[in-house]
Amino acid sequence: MSVLIYGFHSINSYIKPKNNSNKDIKQDNSSASFNSIEIVYFDDNRQDIRQQQLLNQVRELGIPVSMVTTEELNKLTKVKTHQGVAAKVKRVDLGAYTLKDVLLQIQDKDNARVLILDGITDPHNLGAIIRSCDCFGIDAVILPKNNSANVDSPIVVKTSSGAVNNIPIITVNNLSRAMEDLKDNGFWIAGTGLGEGCINLFEFKFSGKLAWVMGSEGSGMRRLVREHCDYLVTIPMLGNTQSLNVSVAAGIVLAHTAVYSS
């Protein structure tokens, strides 16, 4: 399957060598290499150092190039925020990563971390969350096959700054079943929420295998998903606004876990 991506960060993520600090996950990086790029489109109206450097890299790698007008690139990408560059790339089917395979690969990692996303339908939020996952050493992301933004969308790839290529993303039919599988493999589940019974995030210290759950932008976690959580954790709010964008909340939670849990 081929998808269109755009923006310098997205395309550079396919060209530059991966610096993957997670040695526990054996990824097929060939799917995220320059060999996956079928063609790169450049806006012939943009002529600056940044574009020229990328153009030189692409040509040195023997990747086909097409110079197009701004209008043609706008039509091709369906946005005007493409930064003057887009590429058609081959993407690996999400079925390449299964929960069973990933759990086997990280079975000996005592502080393994997984993020479960329950109904994140905004592609900007999904891309930003995946970027945070890559930054804070999350071993895998689990998404439902339905009621989720498409991880292959150009917006997700661009917003993630190419992080979709660096971390296993697993799609499952049933999140509750996936949570049970995680528990059977030694994971505890912590969901984010509000209300009574929730632990203050900054008082939550954890040692061991942990899976976080982030709910949808509007309604949060679904009831069955919430019931499968071992912990419910809340981010304390000190101002008048009592809610956070889900991608911001995910970044806070993952950063806290990376620093204060082991």
Burial class (CB in 10 A: 0-12, 13-18, 19+), 173: exposed
Q: What is the pLDDT of residue 5?
A: 87
pLDDT surpasses 80 at 99? yes
Q: What is the pLDDT of residue 195?
A: 73
Dist CA 158 CA 59 (whole Å): 22
Q: Which band of pLDDT confidence, cut at 50, 70 and 90, is reported for residue 92?
A: low
Q: Which band of pLDDT confidence, cut at 50, 70 and 90, is reported for residue 241?
A: confident
Contacts of 80 (CB under 8 A, 6+ apart): 74
All domains of the chain in start order, with CATH: 2-92 (3.30.1330.30), 95-260 (3.40.1280.10)
193-206, pLDDT tens digit by residue?
Answer: 877 789 999 999 88
SS3 state at 248 = helix
Residue scoring higher pLDDT (236 or 260):
236
Q: What is the pLDDT of residue 262?
A: 55
Contacts of 36 (CB under 8 A, 6+ apart): 14, 30, 89, 90, 91
Mean pLDDT of 80-102: 82
Q: What is the pLDDT of residue 161?
A: 80
43-63, pLDDT tens digit by residue?
Answer: 999 989 999 999 999 999 999
Residue scoring higher pLDDT (32 or 9):
9
Q: What does pTM read for this prediction?
A: 0.80
Q: Which of 262, 200, 199 is nearest to 231 (CA)?
A: 199
Residue scoring higher pLDDT (35 or 102):
102
Dist CA 74 CA 68 (whole Å): 10
Q: What is the pLDDT of residue 207?
A: 87
142-172, pLDDT tens digit by residue?
Answer: 999 998 998 888 888 888 887 887 889 999 9
Q: Which of 115, 90, 125, 92 is nearest to 218 (CA)?
A: 125
H-type helices in the chain, by residue range?
A: 8-15, 49-60, 70-77, 99-105, 123-135, 154-159, 175-184, 223-227, 246-260
pLDDT surpasses 80 at 108? yes
Q: What is the pLDDT of residue 20?
A: 47
